[in-house]
Amino acid sequence: MLEFLIFFVSFGAWFYIQSSLWESLFHQYLLDLSPRDRACLFRIRKWAPAIWNIHYDHNVLHHHRTYRSSYVQQFASAREEARLRAVLVKQFDAATVREMTTSRYGATFTRAGHIPFAIPIILNLGWLAVVHGPVQIAAVLCADLIFATPFFIFSKWVHPYMHARFDEAALTAPVPLRWVVTSPYAVAVRISHYVHHCDPTRNYNLQYFADLIRGKWRAPTGAEWSDMVAQGVILPRHRTALEGRRFLLHPF
Ligand SMILES: [Zn+2]
Ligand SMILES: [Zn+2]
């Protein structure tokens, strides 16, 4: 049991930090590229269409072509969605348009969009060739499952609910996702992610840690707190509990 705990905690800490770092870095250098770097990616899109499409799905569609009139409503009307689909049909082949519609315009993943999120989780399995015996193997597998996957789970399943009003998400998310969505951790991430949409060069992480040590995390401004409460992204009690904190990972 002691052997399991030592390996589980050691690998767990390493896997958590590694996933958080990876998430922060690939958001900065792929999903949320600066306009200058986006121009480079655009030029090579013929040779690497999947990479361009992953970027487009997140940055163009999720950040700029949806949630335009409200942070908590993807489209103001069916006409707005139809207009976007008409633009996509002109720019992409039918299969890619279908993928982007399935990803809910970047609110979750396209098929290829799973790959960058899965990379650290899969690479961690390489440790199975290094450790010895069933106890150590079980510890590595459990650590990978629990500590390397939160950013994947949040990005694929929790993120769409972070763009819903808090009270609505608490009512409509299926159990057990509802427990995650309403947890203090997810409230902190929801606030952090709101800031990411105000300033896409900050708060990349849905799995906390790396943004903070990389100097890429910032707290909401007073106006942003007010807007979050006004739009129902958070409840007034969340603002009371968390406003002014240097980091939001406290109320546990
Ligand atoms: Zn982003
Ligand atoms: Zn978002």
Examine the pLDDT at 250 and tell me if it is beyond 70. no
198-218: b (≥16 Cβ within 10 Å) or e: eebebbbbbbbbbbbeeebbb
Give the number of whichever ligand sits closest to the CA of residue 62.
Answer: 2
How many Cβ atoms from other residues are within 10 Å of residue 147's Cβ?
A: 23
Instruction: Report how far ligand 1's centroid is from the alpha carbon of 199 (Å).
Output: 9
Query: Rounded distance, CA 158 to CA 152, Å?
Result: 9
Count how many Cα atoms sit within 13 Å of the Cα of residue 35 in the half-sphere of its side chain: 0
> Which residues contact residue 76 at a Cβ distance below 8 angstroms, ignoring those fewer than 6 apart?
68, 69, 70
Compare 41 and 157 and report the one with higher pLDDT. 157
Residues 142-149, mean pLDDT to the nearest whole number? 96
Share of the chain above pLDDT 70, in %: 98
Residue 249: pLDDT band (50, 70, 90) is low
Residue count of the chain: 252
Give the number of whichever ligand sits closest to the CA of residue 59.
Answer: 1
Residue 142: pLDDT band (50, 70, 90) is very high
Instruction: Report how far ligand 2's centroid is from the alpha carbon of 134 (Å).
Output: 40
The domain locations on the chain are 12-114+152-242
Instruction: Report how far ligand 1's centroid is from the alpha carbon of 66 (Å).
Output: 13
Examine the pLDDT at 137 and tell me if it is beyond 80. yes
Residues 80-107, mean pLDDT to the nearest whole number? 94
Instruction: Report how far ligand 2's centroid is from the alpha carbon of 50 (Å).
Output: 21
Instruction: Report how far ligand 2's centroid is from the alpha carbon of 76 (Å).
Output: 16
The pTM (predicted TM-score) of the whole model is 0.92
> Which residues contact residue 226 at a Cβ distance below 8 angstroms, ignoring those fewer than 6 apart?
none
39-57 pLDDT per residue, tens: 888 888 888 888 899 999 9
Instruction: Report how far ligand 2's centroid is from the alpha carbon of 63 (Å).
Output: 7
Instruction: Report how far ligand 1's centroid is from the alpha carbon of 168 (Å).
Output: 23
> Which residues contact residue 190 at a Cβ distance below 8 angstroms, ignoring those fewer than 6 apart?
162, 166, 233, 234
Give the number of whichever ligand sits closest to the CA of residue 105.
Answer: 2
Q: What is the pLDDT of residue 90?
A: 95
Give the number of whichever ligand sits closest to the CA of residue 54.
Answer: 1
Residue 94: pLDDT band (50, 70, 90) is very high
Instruction: Report how far ligand 2's centroid is from the alpha carbon of 162 (Å).
Output: 7
Give the number of whichever ligand sits closest to the CA of residue 192.
Answer: 2
The CA–CA distances, whole Å, from 31 to 54, 56, 63, 204 equal 7, 8, 10, 10
Instruction: Report how far ligand 2's centroid is from the alpha carbon of 178 (Å).
Output: 18
Query: Rounded distance, CA 117 to CA 103, Å?
Result: 14
6-24 pLDDT per residue, tens: 999 999 999 999 999 999 9
Instruction: Report how far ligand 1's centroid is from the alpha carbon of 110 (Å).
Output: 15
